[in-house]
Amino acid sequence: MPERALPYRPHNHEACVSQALADARAICRQQNARLTPIRERVLELIWQSHKPLGAYDILAMLGTEGHNAAPPTVYRALDFLLQYGLVHRIASLNAFTGCTHAGEHHRGTFLICRQCSNVLELDVPEVMGAVEAAAAAVAFRPEEVTLEIAGLCPRCQGGSGHA
């Protein structure tokens, strides 16, 4: 059994990491933002994991690769990746996950398995529409909305892995 848990939906993992990095390069080029080697490596580590990673997890991984990075370097890289919509911060885990809709303005909705820590980003505009309508009904204007839903993924439920 592989050490790294797989996401809920079957896919070609190497292709997904490669696509995320290609998207990041294109977004940074369009925005005139500098995707430095350390920023790109942090993004790659996050995507390779498929599980949210904390800053110190990333720092430890970089250390095993011979990088002499300090915590501020990793935090600056994460801030950059957040700023350009390349990663999301999962507040309940104090960790970061790759954004599957990089370059698009959207509000994050995440399923988080409390047993294996896998995270799946959902695209559910009807849920966000309901949140925005409820807020508007009380004259509230949401600026940031991130919905984190904790539970058990199909694998941890003992299911076949298909949702």
Q: Is residue 85 part of a domain?
A: yes
For residue range 35-65, what is the model confidence (pLDDT) as tens digits?
999 999 999 999 998 789 999 999 999 999 9
1 assigned to some structural domain: no
pLDDT of residue 38: 95
Does the annotation place 156 within a ligand binding site?
yes
User: Which portions of the chain are predicted below pLDDT 50?
Assistant: 1-6, 161-163
The answer on whether 106 is annotated among ligand-binding residues is no
Q: For residue 16, say whether it is annotated as part of any ligand binding site.
A: no
Does residue 54 belong to any structural domain of this protein? Answer: yes
Task: Find tokens 């790294």 and name the residue.
Answer: 4
Alpha-carbon distance values, 121 to 132, 139, 161 (Å): 19, 28, 16
Q: How many CA atoms lie within 13 A of 104 on its CB side?
A: 7
Judge whether 162 lies within some domain.
no
Identify whether 87 is part of a domain. Answer: yes
Is 73 inside a domain boundary?
Answer: yes
First to last CA, the chain: 20
Residue (of 75, 80, 108) closest to 92 by Cα position: 108
Look at residue 4 in the predicted model and tell me its pLDDT.
Answer: 39
Q: Give domain status of residue 23, yes or no.
A: yes
Is 99 annotated in some ligand binding site?
Answer: no
At 63, which CATH number? 1.10.10.10
Task: Please give the pLDDT value at position 3.
Answer: 36
The pTM of the full predicted model, rounded to 2 decimals, is 0.83
The reply to whether 161 falls in a domain is no
Is 28 annotated in some ligand binding site? no
Q: How many domains does the chain have?
A: 1
Domain that holds residue 126: 11-154
